[in-house]
Structure 1
Amino acid sequence: MNPFLAPSPLPLGYPDLDAIREEHFAPAFTAGMAEQRAEIDAITANPEPATFANTIEALERSGATLRRVSAVFFTLVSAHSTPGIRAIEAEVAPRLAAHGDAITLDPALFARIEAVPADGLDGESRRLLERHHRDAVRAGARLGADEQRRLRQLNAELSALSTEFGARLLAGANAAAVPVDDPARLDGLSADTVAAVAARGDRIALVLPTAQPALASLTDRGLREELYTASVTRGAHGDEHDTREIVLRTVALRAERAALLGHPHHASWVVEEGTAGSVEAIDEMLAKLVPVAAANARAEAAELAETAGHAIEPWDRAFHAERLRKERFDLDSAALRPYLELERVLHDGVFFAAGRLYGLTFTERHDLPLHHPDVRVFDVADDDGPLGLFVADLYARDSKRGGAWMNSFVTQSRLLGTRPVVLNTLNIARGEPTLLTIDEVRTLFHEFGHALHGLLSDVEYPTFSGTGVPRDFVEYPSQVNEMWLEDPEVLANYARHHVTGEPLPVELVERLREARRFGEGTATTEYLAATLLDLAWHRLGPDARVDDVLAFEADALAAAGVDVPSAPPRYRSTYFNHVFGGGYSAGYYSYIWSEVLDADTVDWFAENGGLSRPNGDTFRRELLSRGGAVDPMEAYRAFRGRDPELAPLLTRRGLLG
């Protein structure tokens, strides 16, 4: 019996992970694609005139088996990969791309979609009809047969390349962990970090971004340089983990596909469906940020050079910035960690804020199967009763890709009668106890913001559920949720010494707030460099020819004015997984675009009394619950009463002067 071929017997459709084996995935994918193909054929063969119910709703209901197997499989691909899982992914990814194309490019289905009358539909239903029509057109439904054939080839190869990029990056990052033959070289690291290095065979593991956390603490400058070099050269060693040819091939194929679909480049095609509307609108926003951010980053490096007594290399910046931060604000990041114990942060911080804002309660349960022993599951309820399930997979391991993210086993939909089962996956180093950095606390709040977007969804159709919004809007609710980590009531509740229970001293709290904008020029420049690099790659037309990835990258950063040696891009091309292994191609700008809305929303909460149930209910009703069922910017205007303003973001990042 293949457990994917019937609905899970467990609560809310939670997958029966104890019954699932690797050998179930391939046949379940085959069966799921065949099932959905039959469902689409039934829609197109229906002799009745096309209606919303027999065409659009039927399309929304299709693919139940495929949804079940995909949700579990791609969770494991990212969070608990094995050689067997990676082999299945390589085999099934192009088949899934071809299956999707067969549906979106089905001329009979497109004809029925075009024939569905919009008269009498409610707002969400009309929006869904428009969405399916738009997606079909964007996918090439109006192309000729030869062009569609080429489009299918492009999509299949791009899917395979994305899979291969992720696999090489994971293997390459594990292989590039920096060996340390003398424990004395680890001076400056906390005891639990030293223990984590020992547990990994006396090797410092790499996290996904360019900036490695240990760079802020290691006193051994030579080891800092080794660690930095290992980080920025991932995927560029000419070995089996090299990703450069994947980058070049991916960019070329995306440009060709965009031209087939009537766009000058891939960025134009991507941005068309976002809230930004055009690449030019993104350029206008970035043009206001880049010069002042880069100038501040260079000034910060010059200031650090004075205190260090030598020029600041990229591997020096975090180390000397941490010391200057401590001197200027009498704030040592390591001194905060004893007050930031994971369990307290989760229960008395993240969950507490959600309770105060939305009336949510969280009850851990131990009766459901897990995809790894580290994973935990919580019942989530509100005033009206059970709401969904929250799955937390917080600890780092070799089988998990770097970074942090949210995904779902089940999405909310009134049409399907489903309630949400959402996951947060992070990469926190386990300790006894596990003490966090302030950045890890921020990540925990951030990802839970995505989880709330899924948990509080209240839409009819699965297409619009939770985070089913444009890419440049999806980060907005998660970034808003970050504000609560420094809220006085929330901070006082969770920031307590893990041994004594004493609260984080008030003076430390004040200095933490004062220090918030310290180094923002560098942080903003690092982010903008990655954003502009992404856009540079994806503004190439189909006739452009690039032979050297690293040379193109250097030229692009210089042309954009973000070639600041002390502030390298958050991700370089060869390990830019968001863009070449994930769904953010030409969309990495989304974080700063969303932060404009986020900063303006933080001001709204402050103007209306901050952490309160009425404020939470308003934000939930107007934004979190709506998913993609309404135009995101219309939802924002309904919430804020006006269009967003840029000034709050500039103030937050210290970029006004």
Structure 2
Amino acid sequence: MTDAPNPLLESPTLPYQVPPYDRILPEHYLPAFTEAFAQHRAEVEAIIADPAPATFENTFVALERSGALLDRVAHAFYTVSSAHATDEIQAIDEQLAPLMAAHEDAVKLDAGLYARIAAVRARLDDLGLTGEDRYLVERWYRETTHAGAALDDDAKQKLTALNQRLSTLSTQFEKNLLADTNDLAVVFTDAAELDGLSDGELSAAAVAAAERGLEDSYLVTLPLFTGHPYLESLTRRDSRERLLAASRARAARGNANDNVDVVREIVRLRAERAELLGYPSHAAYITSDETAGSPEVVHDLLRRLAAPAAANARAEQAGLQALVDATDDPYPLAAHDWPYVTEQVRREKYDIDTAALRPWFEAERVLQDGVFAAAHRLYGVSFTERHDIPTYHPDARVFEVSDEDGSAVGLFVLDLYTRDTKRGGAWMNPIVSESALRGTLPVVANNLNVPKPAAGEPTLLSLDFVTTLFHEFGHALHGLFARTTYPHFSGTSVFRDFVEFPSQVNEMWLMWPEILDSYARHIDTDEPIPADVVERLRASETFNQGFLTSEYLAAAWLDQAWHSLSADEAAADLDVPAFEAAALAEIGLDNPLVPTRYSTTYFAHVFSGGYSAGYYSYIWSEVLDADTVEWFRENGGLARENGERFRRRLLGVGGSKDPLEAYRDFRGRDADIAPLLKRRGLES
């Protein structure tokens, strides 16, 4: 550590209060957290020590003003720890996890603070508070109670120890998964083994191998989910088998980065914590403060969808096997064959080769003329790239977002490419949270894991990556458009089973005619995708939905199964593969040709992310999404007035009102499940 000032502790000077990443060194983070913890604790203690009776202003507004430094430091660090986790950053993350958990508990479980919160809440009807102010009191009371603030001192002490240990385990899970994902990336020594990949994909594999010092080789990195986009294209069964086997083996028993014991301890401690807090299971604890309300409601939905999805998958399987049997070289279909043979059927039935569509999806054009263009038409916003604002990695790009009248909306950061230091999957996170109280505008980041081609070669996206880019940008818009008084409600600070709704809605625009025609232009000829191909794409929207719905529901059910265990059940010496098999058999999603989208040892959403007992959120939110798509279609689609309604009544409120109330305000009624059933081919 040098004697120079810690840039994280200086007053923000960059536009939009962006962290000065060009001056931040790894050794700056822990001292900054230490100071931020102390400052926040002092601010909270001052609220508690105030001799005046608790009021909305001296308790809730004061709480919302507190912790500004900690928020800045935490956003700066966790952006890096997920997107550029070098060995130094990982070591800091491991040290930080229990410290952060302890600090959060010190605030949320403080008896003096809880007494002030409860005192105001008890007089709530007499205070004349409305809107966001009233909701702030309700949420602080609910969240602190839910966190355990009403427990006695002995129980709080036990709870704090549980939370600290769980934070350490979640960090360990993510570290193990990142290391094993890198270790198990598949090395091919002959381009013939990768027959079927495009020149750009081969180039990306060669670049990845060269970056690891492997000469004359090709390295295929693994995505977060079980499958792999290349399984659709690889003509050789042995290559497909190697790729899927490597993906499914991540962090399994016997690997150098084994997550089995980590998972078992996480499940046990979460169940113990739920019991301590008065709930029969972790799933009951989590869903009690979501829109679903209880695990039983979630289970009812998953079971309702599982049977028809599994039946559709079996019908699809029979069709695939029949196609293989009719070839000159028949073989019994395996899980690693499904994506490839599915593409053959798609070509035969719909005359569509999704791999051949990549030349129409050049990344920069998708971004500018697709993602940004749709947002401009709907919401009137414009995007200007800024090269003067430092980022945490050279691949991260910064765009200033301006409203129709030229006023500032915020900053959008895009980090497109995969690297060994980035965790898998795709996500949005805030770098600066919006709040009128603090005078901050939002800075949000989207991360994807697109393989990076050699210098000078275009980045051609698969249709799945195009969908992901639109999806994650929906989260970004939610973060950019929210305009709240209090940081508690900024951006995507909504219930977990509602947060995916805006992002899923944004996916609709990728196939909207005027948007598709704008961005889906051939890289060499500038010709649009032929109209008949577009029509066949639309006609095939329910194609393979049995598989896709089943693999998702299997993961959602697996999450519920682990987290529905009581403390006594979770204390047993559970065999992870056997538990998985039994859980999937129970709901009828144990088809060996349709593996769960995430298996336990690499299910980062629920064991190191924020989706524990909440992975159902995607299908839960999709009920709202599908119903909203119907509304847009009925009301003129991509129209400026429609975008304004969606922005003001849903995106713009952030977490400042009950999400289902916000939905009813937008839609005029509760959501109907029928559009979702139709979309996924589950009407029967």
Give the TM-score taking structure 1 as reference length: 0.99
Q: Following superposition of structure 1 onto structure 2, how do residues 426-575 of structure 1 map, counting pairs within 5 Å?
A: 426-431=448-453, 432-544=457-569, 545-575=572-602
Name the residue aligned to 2:171. Answer: 163
Name the residue aligned to 2:213. Answer: none
Structure 1 residue corresponding to 2:139, chosen from 126, 131, 134: 131
Structure 2 residue identity aligned to 1:17: Y
Please report how far the alpha carbon of residue 47 of structure 1 lies from its aligned counterpart in structure 2 after TM superposition: 1.0
How many angstroms apart in 2 are the aligned matches of 1:622 and 1:182?
55
How many angstroms apart in 2 are the aligned matches of 1:547 and 1:596?
34
Superposition RMSD on alpha carbons, in Å? 0.9
Q: Following superposition of structure 1 onto structure 2, how do residues 591-630 of structure 1 map, counting pairs within 5 Å?
A: 591-630=618-657
Name the residue aligned to 2:422. Answer: 400
Structure 2 residue identity aligned to 1:255: A
How many angstroms apart in 1 are the aligned matches of 2:264 and 2:314?
31
Q: Deviations over 1:17-57 (max 9, x none)?
A: 11111110010010000000100111011111111111111
Query: What secondary structure sits across from 2:333 in the alignment?
Result: coil
Q: What runs of 5+ residues in structure 1 fail to find an aligned partner? A: none
Name the residue aligned to 1:586. Answer: 613
Name the residue aligned to 2:393. Answer: 372
How many angstroms apart in 2 are the aligned matches of 1:290 and 1:435?
35
Query: What secondary structure sits across from 2:448 in the alignment?
Result: strand
Name the residue aligned to 1:319. Answer: 340
Q: Deviations over 1:270-322 (max 9, x none)?
A: 00111111112112212221000000011111110111123221000001001
Please report how far the alpha carbon of residue 2 of structure 1 lies from its aligned counterpart in structure 2 after TM superposition: 0.7
How many angstroms apart in 2 are the aligned matches of 1:289 and 1:499?
43
Name the residue aligned to 2:23. Answer: 19
Name the residue aligned to 2:79. Answer: 75
Please report how far the alpha carbon of residue 120 of structure 1 lies from its aligned counterpart in structure 2 after TM superposition: 1.4
Contact 2:26 2:89 in 1 (8 A): yes
Structure 2 residue corresponding to 1:64, chosen from 60, 63, 68: 68
Structure 2 residue corresponding to 1:416, chosen from 430, 438, 457: 438
Matched, 1:267 2:283: yes
Q: Deviations over 1:320-378 (max 9, x none)?
A: 00111011111111221111100110000000000000000001111011111111101
Please report how far the alpha carbon of residue 582 of structure 1 lies from its aligned counterpart in structure 2 after TM superposition: 0.5
Please report how far the alpha carbon of residue 3 of structure 1 lies from its aligned counterpart in structure 2 after TM superposition: 1.1
Structure 2 residue identity aligned to 1:268: A
How many angstroms apart in 2 are the aligned matches of 1:86 and 1:302?
46
How many angstroms apart in 2 are the aligned matches of 1:434 and 1:197?
13
Q: Following superposition of structure 1 onto structure 2, how do residues 71-150 of structure 1 map, counting pairs within 5 Å?
A: 71-116=75-120, 117-118=123-124, 119-150=127-158
Matched, 1:185 2:188: no
Structure 2 residue identity aligned to 1:599: A
Contact 2:253 2:260 in 1 (8 A): no
Name the residue aligned to 1:307. Answer: 323
Q: Following superposition of structure 1 onto structure 2, how do residues 323-338 of structure 1 map, counting pairs within 5 Å?
A: 323-338=344-359
Contact 1:546 1:552 in 2 (8 A): no
Q: Percent identity?
A: 56
Structure 2 residue corresponding to 1:153, chosen from 152, 158, 161: 161
Structure 2 residue identity aligned to 1:308: V
Contact 1:517 1:652 in 2 (8 A): yes
Structure 2 residue identity aligned to 1:407: N
How many angstroms apart in 1 are the aligned matches of 2:243 and 2:255?
19
Structure 1 residue corresponding to 2:272, chosen from 232, 239, 256: 256
Query: What secondary structure sits across from 1:530 in the alignment?
Result: helix
How many angstroms apart in 2 are the aligned matches of 1:244 and 1:51?
49
Name the residue aligned to 1:210. Answer: 226
Structure 2 residue identity aligned to 1:347: Q
Please report how far the alpha carbon of residue 7 of structure 1 lies from its aligned counterpart in structure 2 after TM superposition: 2.6
Name the residue aligned to 2:295. Answer: 279
How many angstroms apart in 1 are the aligned matches of 2:573 and 2:468?
36
Name the residue aligned to 2:259. Answer: 243
Contact 1:6 1:65 in 2 (8 A): no
Matched, 1:7 2:28: no
Please report how far the alpha carbon of residue 4 of structure 1 lies from its aligned counterpart in structure 2 after TM superposition: 1.3
Q: What runs of 5+ residues in structure 2 fail to find an aligned partner? A: 210-217, 326-330
Matched, 1:49 2:53: yes
Please report how far the alpha carbon of residue 546 of structure 1 lies from its aligned counterpart in structure 2 after TM superposition: 3.9
Query: What secondary structure sits across from 1:44 in the alignment?
Result: helix
Please report how far the alpha carbon of residue 567 of structure 1 lies from its aligned counterpart in structure 2 after TM superposition: 1.1
How many angstroms apart in 1 are the aligned matches of 2:158 and 2:253?
33
Contact 2:170 2:608 in 1 (8 A): yes
Please report how far the alpha carbon of residue 160 of structure 1 lies from its aligned counterpart in structure 2 after TM superposition: 0.1
Please report how far the alpha carbon of residue 237 of structure 1 lies from its aligned counterpart in structure 2 after TM superposition: 4.0
Name the residue aligned to 1:349. Answer: 370
Contact 1:467 1:474 in 2 (8 A): yes
Query: What secondary structure sits across from 2:540 in the alignment?
Result: helix
Please report how far the alpha carbon of residue 69 of structure 1 lies from its aligned counterpart in structure 2 after TM superposition: 1.1
Query: What secondary structure sits across from 1:517 in the alignment?
Result: coil
Give the TM-score taking structure 2 as reference length: 0.95
Please report how far the alpha carbon of residue 499 of structure 1 lies from its aligned counterpart in structure 2 after TM superposition: 1.2
Matched, 1:339 2:360: yes
Please report how far the alpha carbon of residue 181 of structure 1 lies from its aligned counterpart in structure 2 after TM superposition: 2.3
